Amino acid sequence: MSRELPSSLLMFIAARAAADRIFRAVHDAGFDDVTIAQSRLMMGLDPEGTRLSVLAERAQIAKQTATALVDKLERAGYVRRVPDPSDGRARLVRLTPRAEAVLPIARAEEERIEAEWHAQLGPELMGQLRQALTALRDITDPYQ
């Protein structure tokens, strides 16, 4: 007899499947020099830039690991380090135009996934899912 999976694992499975599809779509569009670890780190970047320590925290990795990933992304032309206007000693990691070219590809795949889930669940259940996940964000997302 198999046990009923916890909601958190069910959410993780769906999120992982979506992230994998988005990653594949980006790779298939020619941006094949980014690893999944690098892409997950880039997902934590704010539009105005993000400090490396915050990126590491969001990705739940060591700061040294985040530094190595950012170094590789910088060499590949996806990010750049710029001075933090609020603290002259600190640096922000920002997306470059090359990385911003990836965003429409990723967002288009997100829309396809959303449409598939909507077709699978129907409008009422999909609406309830979104409402429930939005309510959970209040207690699960320290970065909102």
* Residue ranges of domains in the chain, CATH in brackets: 1-29+102-144 (no CATH), 32-96 (1.10.10.10)
Residue 25: CB partners within 8 Å, gap ≥ 6?
105, 106, 108, 109
pLDDT of residue 126: 97
pTM of the model: 0.85
What's the chain's average pLDDT?
A: 94
What stretches in the chain show pLDDT beneath 50? none
Q: Does residue 37 sit in helix, strand or coil?
A: helix
